[in-house]
Amino acid sequence: MTPINPQPETVRDYLDALRRALKGAAPALIQDALADAEEHLRNEIIQHPAQSEREVLFGVIETYGTPEEVAETYLSMEAAIAGPFPKQDVPSVRRNGFFDIISDSRAYGALVYMLLSLVTGIFYFTWTVTGLALSVGLFVLIIGVPFALLFIGSERLISLLEGRIVETLLGVRMPRRLPPTDPAPRGLFKRIGDALTDARTWSSMLYLLLMLPLGVIYFTLAVTGLAFSIGMTAASLYGLFTGEVTMTFDDAPVLTHILHTAPGLIVTGLIGIFLFFIVLHIAKAIGWMHGKLAEVLLVRV
């Protein structure tokens, strides 16, 4: 009779079993677990050249654990180090109440991310375009090969850094380590070939290039929304307490007259406060959508 969980005989069998055991977990958690396991197993195989892969795995499983045990360990650690954000779900005004957004940490994190995205987007875009241009231009020279390899490595490091920013501010579980590299000696051209055929290389570059237009949109929405909502509220309060109205509409004298009255200033202030709640909802929705984009382009299981 065949056992339910047969002994893995190859690294690929072990990784497939670990992936099945982690089914339903966050994709980034699965990627990290698979990367750690693959690196550990392949290093063990390198250190025991006289033994077959099956024999090495049999000994390693005794200390490292079965795929099911490793999966349980990772899930337990993930639950223990859960961050300040609740499990990500689709933003819903109905479920939480429109005004409850004021206490939602995810909305403020997304707002901060939107304000930072212009700076990070410019850096990511400039670095990627410059690196690609130099890699192609120098490839015919001796220095071009190691330069291309360094550039691809830098893209992966930047993607890892961006993932940490996304996880910190948007609450989306992202990879916490770089993909494993083959411990066996390999030539420069072979390593570059492996990197170029890795979908993570191109998806990461695409993400970093997209961050410039997205950063412009996010930053514009955040600054405009905050300026209107906070500006209207502050101007209304200033007018109520000092009697000096700073908001005027030259093309709408009736509206300007209303703003010179206390009831008009109170209504304007309430509108500003209402707009601030709308800005928080928009920020949370953008954070949710961007988190999904980051998962698709920066996570590979």
pLDDT digits (tens, 9 = 90+) for 96-113: 678 899 999 999 999 999
The contacts of residue 215 (CB under 8 Å, 6+ apart) are 117, 118, 119, 120, 121, 122
Residue 62 in contact with residue 18, Cβ under 8 Å?
A: no
Q: In this structure, are residues 44 and 61 in contact, taking their beta carbons and an 8 Å threshold?
A: no
Res 3 pLDDT > 50? no
Q: Which of 21-30, 204-213, 238-247 has the lowest mean pLDDT?
A: 238-247
- The per-residue pLDDT of the chain, averaged, comes to 83
Distance CA 247, CA 245 (A): 6
Average pLDDT over residues 256-272: 76
Q: Where are the domains of the chain?
A: 11-80, 85-301
Cα 46 from chain centroid (whole Å): 34
pLDDT of residue 251: 57
Q: What is the mean pLDDT of residues 201-217?
A: 95
* pTM for this predicted structure: 0.81
Are 257 and 272 spatial neighbours (Cβ–Cβ below 8 Å)? Answer: no
Better pLDDT: 145 or 127: 127
Tell me the average pLDDT across 12-41: 90
Model confidence at 35: pLDDT above 70 = yes
Distance between CA atoms of residues 123 and 162, nearest Å: 11
Contact predicate 192/145, CB 8 Å: yes
In the chain, the percentage of residues whose pLDDT exceeds 90 is 40
CA–CA gap between residue 222 and residue 220 (Å, rounded): 6
